[in-house]
Chain A
Amino acid sequence: MPSSDDFDWQSCLRRVREDRDEDAARALLEWMHPLVARIAHSHRPRRTEVEDLCQTVLMNVFTHLDQYEGRVPLAHWVSRVAVNTCLKALRAEKSRPEWRWADLSEGERLALETAEQPDKNPDAAAQLGSRELVDRMLAALAPQDRLVIQLLHLEERSISEICTLTGWSTAGVKVRAFRARQRMRKILKQLEKEEVPCPKPMIGCLAC
């Protein structure tokens, strides 16, 4: 498999488009796959396998190769196709699961407890728990909100990069990110309420 830096995608693309060279198509496919797999892994719906989503993205890329105009590097164009395909898959996912304190795993609870203490650095278990917890919270968000949080906060992409990837405006990205964070805060507050045990259980408390 060619490394991503050495790979001459321009000549490979030319052979694919002009000569319909199948070996070149295979090489291009192998080169694109890790990039597409990472995006598919980050933005896939809960019940979708990375492999299946990768296949859908790559099919979209290869059947629309004639639409690539060469204004941006091919990797950028492929990333954009991948992000939009993932967004479409997320939109198709109907249910937005709700969950409670009791549903959290030990790791996720540990992550929450660690995050409450500003001076405490998370250990490996808390980091893993944080990832699981954030994934859970993201699954409860709308697809576009989920995408913007993933790109901005988890992948640490710049606003301009997100604009390029999604086609949204700068203001649109900022507003969407703000609203998504508000929703995540709301989820955390709900969890916080559930975490504190009710002081008067079983005596007609409406909250119980």
Chain B
Amino acid sequence: MSKANDRLSRLLAAAQVSDPFEPTPLSARAEAAVLRAWRLTERAAPVAFFERLLRPCLATAFAVMLLTLGWSAFDPSDSSLTQSTSLEESLTDPSALLASDS
């Protein structure tokens, strides 16, 4: 251990025992400021409610709506519907069926 290290350790040890700080009571000004800040958090509660619960719910609902719209636009049942319609037409019109056979 170097000389400086020894000296540092002794300095730190001597500094430990001589801090005579005793806290004074909190001033009325500081107390009022803290309580005012605390009261303001109460007003911010509806905003917090929106941030934490309502916004995710709205976002989820919007996403579900978009998915539904997208699904209905590219729904494969549409083409099957078209196919079944042409089959119905050919069944009701036998000449068209014969033409397709020939």
The segment from B17-25, B69-77, B80-88, B89-97 found at the interface with A is B17-25
B11 in contact (CB, < 8 A): yes
What's the dominant secondary structure at chain A's contact region? helix
Residues of B near A115 (CB, < 8 A) are 7-8, 10-11, 14
> Which of B12, B17, B42 has the largest number of chain A CB atoms within 10 A?
B12
A128 in contact (CB, < 8 A): yes
CB distance from B53 to the nearest CB of A (A): 14
Number of residue pairs A-B, CB distance < 8 angstroms: 111
B8's partner among A34, A41, A59, A185 (CB-CB below 8 A) is A185
B59 in contact (CB, < 8 A): no
Flag if A29 contacts B14 (CB, 8 Å): no
A63 and B38 in contact, given A116-B7, A131-B18, A192-B4 (Cβ under 8 angstroms): yes
What's the dominant secondary structure at chain B's contact region? helix
Flag if A184 contacts B41 (CB, 8 Å): no
A38's partner among B10, B21, B25, B30 (CB-CB below 8 A) is B21
CB distance from B7 to the nearest CB of A (A): 5
B35 in contact (CB, < 8 A): yes
Flag if A54 contacts B30 (CB, 8 Å): yes
Which A80-137 residues sit within 8 Å CB-CB of chain B?
A: 111-112, 114-116, 118, 122, 124, 126-128, 130-131, 133-135
B6 in contact (CB, < 8 A): yes
The CA of A41 and the CA of B41, in the complex, are separated in Å by: 27
Flag if A55 contacts B7 (CB, 8 Å): no
Flag if B23 contacts A34 (CB, 8 Å): yes
A55 and B30 in contact, given A34-B23, A38-B23, A115-B10 (Cβ under 8 angstroms): yes
Residues of A near B8 (CB, < 8 A) are 115, 181, 184-185, 188
The CA of A20 and the CA of B41, in the complex, are separated in Å by: 11
A51 in contact (CB, < 8 A): yes
Flag if A33 contacts B15 (CB, 8 Å): no
A156 in contact (CB, < 8 A): yes
B27 in contact (CB, < 8 A): yes
A58 in contact (CB, < 8 A): yes
Q: Which residue of B lies closest to A37 (CB)?
A: B23
Flag if B15 contacts A154 (CB, 8 Å): yes
Residues of B near A62 (CB, < 8 A) are 34-35, 37-38, 41
Residues on A lying within 8 angstroms of B by beta carbon are 1, 20, 22, 25-26, 29-30, 33-34, 37-38, 41-42, 50-51, 54-55, 58-59, 62-63, 65-66, 111-112, 114-116, 118, 122, 124, 126-128, 130-131, 133-135, 149, 153-154, 156, 181, 184-185, 188-189, 192
Given A1-B25, A22-B35, A66-B41, 7 further pairs, Cβ under 8 A: A30-B25, A51-B27, A58-B34, A63-B38, A63-B40, A153-B12, A188-B4
Residues on B lying within 8 angstroms of A by beta carbon are 2-8, 10-12, 14-19, 21, 23-27, 30-31, 33-35, 37-38, 40-42
